[in-house]
Structure 1
Amino acid sequence: MTKELLHTGGFDDVLPHEPIIPAAHDPAKPVCRGLGGFYAVERRLAWLMSVILFTAILYLGLLMAAQVFMRYVIASPFLGIEELAPILALWIYFIGMAYCTRKRGHIQGSVLTLVTQNPRTVLSVHLFGTLVSLVTVAVFAWFAWDFAAYNLSLNRKSTYLRLPKYILDFSIVSGFALVILYLALQTFLEARALITDQITGQFTGQFTGKGGN
């Protein structure tokens, strides 16, 4: 699809800029009124997530390199690595999922802006999508917690390193819990923007490409 087919001077005319970002948004703006304390705590939480991600990715890479060396160079693989790698991978995946939700960096089609550029309509659809996502993640989180509690009650351990299974399970629970936190905040901000009509002027450029952040 080209600019000519879209009959526009550029993609900025039809593709939205950043939507309301829950954690990276400016707490000084009216829609974030009263959330200064939350944002201060959240910044520390975001720092902790980034440390977990960096550490887990680093150690996973080192483990893979060590396993290749031990298996193909000295022909003496360590089976414990096969247990550690999935644990690190799951922590990376689910904490990464939460961090992506924080940044609202997941893939979006943005097809709606080809139909309408009315900021209120676009934000209303965004709010509906956020609510659906919040309910869906909450259901998955409940099943994740139920499974983690079951493994915790059995005190299951891995075969070689005897690591508790709940280390792996809690990565899933933690990831879903953080996603719920950010989706709930996203829902609150989008609803407040619609109810108080703060979308006018403040968020128009984010959806139409005519200003904003």
Structure 2
Amino acid sequence: MLQALTRTVDWLSELFGIVAGWMFFAIGIFVAYEVFMRYALTSPTVWVDEIARIFQVWATFGATAYVLKHRQHIVIDLAFRDANTLRRRIVETFSLLVIVFFGCVAARYGWDIWLKSTLAGHTTDSYLAVPKAYTQSAIWVGFGLLSLQALVEIYRVWTGQANLQSHELGGH
């Protein structure tokens, strides 16, 4: 049961990370298109800024769990370099619990803001008038998945499955 949950969270983190990468790529294409339209054809678009912003919000929040899963965030391991010590496991667990706490708080308040905005029918103040729910949902989805991935990583720390070696984390 726990293995199935772990695989599911890992799969979702991978999926969101891959989609986020393609969204960042698409943003580059959109902005290049806008530059061409604006300066070469003097005919700017009305959609690039808004769509690029939505993609950027989703890609940023969606990629957080992917980054944690692959341990590609900033790591400072001066005092706890040996991954097999109890102290290292305790420090790892503490840092992951901070992520869980922050992620849950952000997801909870993000959900409240999203729900209020969705029920009220709020839209952006642009020509497209995109529902704000599109960007606001990225907050609770991204931080919710980040919290789940952090719990999976805590499980890995205590079952010996975590990838905690400093040389594998890009350390010195």
Could you state the TM-score of these two structures normalised by the residue count of structure 1?
A: 0.68
1:24-43 to 2 correspondences below 5 Å: 35-42=2-9
The two structures, once aligned, show a CA RMSD in angstroms of: 2.7
Residue 131 of structure 1 corresponds to 97
Query: Does the Cα contact within 8 Å between 1:119 and 1:207 map onto a contact in 2?
Result: no
* Cα offset, 1:117, TM superposition: 7.5
Residue 13 of structure 1 corresponds to none
Residue 142 of structure 1 corresponds to 108
Query: Does the Cα contact within 8 Å between 1:113 and 1:207 map onto a contact in 2?
Result: no
User: In percent, how many aligned pairs have the same letter?
Assistant: 25
Q: Matched residues in 2 for 1:207 and 1:77: separation? A: 48
Residue 28 of structure 1 corresponds to none
Query: Does the Cα contact within 8 Å between 2:13 and 2:149 map onto a contact in 1?
Result: no
Q: Matched residues in 1 for 2:93 and 2:77: separation? A: 14
Q: Matched residues in 2 for 1:120 and 1:105: separation? A: 23
The size of the alignment, in residue pairs, is 166
SS, match of residue 127 in structure 2: coil
* Cα offset, 1:99, TM superposition: 0.9
SS, match of residue 45 in structure 2: coil
Residue by residue over 1:66-113, the C-alpha shift from the partner in whole angstroms, topping out at 9 and shown as x without a partner, is 110011111111132111111011111011112111212210111223
SS, match of residue 63 in structure 2: helix
Structure possessing the higher radius of gyration over alpha carbons: 1
Structure 1 unpaired stretches of 5+: 1-33, 194-198
Structure 2 unpaired stretches of 5+: none
User: Which of 48, 53, 57 does residue 24 from structure 2 map onto?
Assistant: 57
Q: Please say if 1:99 is aligned against 2:58.
A: no
Query: Does the Cα contact within 8 Å between 1:122 and 1:207 map onto a contact in 2?
Result: no
* Cα offset, 1:208, TM superposition: 9.8
Residue by residue over 1:162-184, the C-alpha shift from the partner in whole angstroms, topping out at 9 and shown as x without a partner, is 32111111111111011011112
User: Which of 79, 83, 99 does residue 112 from structure 1 map onto?
Assistant: 79
Residue 49 of structure 1 aligns with an amino acid whose one-letter code is F
Residue 165 of structure 2 corresponds to 206
